[in-house]
């Protein structure tokens, strides 16, 4: 089974790039499941119904998110109307809208997609993602033959690496998101878990992690809060990974980076 996963899709330019690239990648790589992190869909922060529908229409099957998922109004309706298409980190406090995981049937196999948020360098007080995974594993009665994909949304590569070792053999893949900076450590751990510390982003290349240069630069130089703006045209950096999983035992057979650029 092939799973194609895109890093954080940033703003309008990222959505337009997804609309152009997903049909091409579907034809080229023939993935069985296409996932994208969408916490930055709506002008860089949060998700709206319109921005979600845009990437779904492009051919994305499921959208994961992160710590910005509740940044836009209307998230209650969003999670109600699209509960099988978008998930949020499972280790938010209990009682919030949305679910932290989704299960889909593909080729008569159960695929469990889990979204978790790291805690290192994060302002929010998330629950322990390590033990949250354990609870979900018990709740879903995940078997060794099930395919389990984890979007681990975190700042620290050390936390992402440690989590990957913690679930080695229990998850088919741990795919890091959040920093928008792709890492070159894609590998398969001894017990069959594919790992990459950060997939990267689908966002403006000539900026600062998808943001127009002036805002972040001014913030670093002056320490004064600055409104960030997002380019709507130009070269888009497209970062993704393609994971191949053995359908018999749920172990990853291969993980490769799929990086490119597109002009919008």
CA dist., res. 13 & res. 110, Å (int):
33
**Comparing C-alpha atoms, which of 158, 157, 148 is closest to residue 194?**
148
- Return phi, psi of residue 170, to 5°: -110, -25
Coil, helix or strand for 156?
coil
Is-contact 205 236, C-beta < 8 A? Answer: yes
Q: Annotated catalytic residue: which of 43, 68, 153, 180?
A: 68
Is-contact 7 201, C-beta < 8 A? Answer: yes
Burial of residue 248 (number of CB atoms within 10 Å: 0-12, 13-18, 19+): exposed
Does residue 68 carry a catalytic annotation? yes
Catalytically active residues, by annotation: 68
């Amino acid at each position: 089974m092939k799973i194609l996963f895109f890093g954080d899709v940033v703003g309008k330019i990222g959505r337009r790039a997804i609309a152009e690239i997903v049909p091409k990648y579907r034809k080229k790589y023939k993935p069985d499941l296409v996932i994208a992190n969408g916490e930055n869909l709506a002008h860089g922060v949060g998700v709206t119904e319109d921005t979600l529908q845009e990437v779904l229409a492009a051919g994305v099957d499921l959208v994961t998110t992160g710590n910005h998922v509740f940044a836009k109004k209307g998230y209650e309706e969003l999670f109600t109307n699209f509960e099988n298409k978008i998930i949020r980190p499972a280790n938010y406090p209990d009682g919030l809208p949305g679910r932290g995981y989704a299960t889909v049937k593909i080729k008569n196999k159960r695929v469990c997609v889990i979204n978790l948020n790291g805690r290192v360098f994060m302002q929010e007080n998330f629950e322990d993602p390590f033990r949250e995974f354990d609870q979900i594993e018990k709740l879903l009665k995940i078997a060794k033959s099930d395919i389990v994909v984890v979007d681990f949304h975190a700042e620290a590569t050390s936390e992402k690496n440690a989590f990957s070792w913690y679930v080695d053999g229990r998850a088919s893949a741990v795919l890091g998101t959040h920093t928008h900076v792709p890492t070159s450590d894609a590998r398969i751990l001894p017990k069959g878990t594919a790992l990459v510390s950060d997939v990267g982003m689908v966002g403006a290349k000539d900026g600062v992690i998808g943001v127009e240069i002036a805002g972040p630069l001014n913030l670093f130089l002056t320490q004064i809060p600055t409104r960030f703006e997002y380019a709507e045209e130009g070269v888009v950096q497209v970062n993704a990974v393609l994971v191949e999983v053995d359908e018999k035992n749920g172990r990853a057979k291969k993980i490769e980076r799929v990086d490119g650029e597109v002009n919008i």
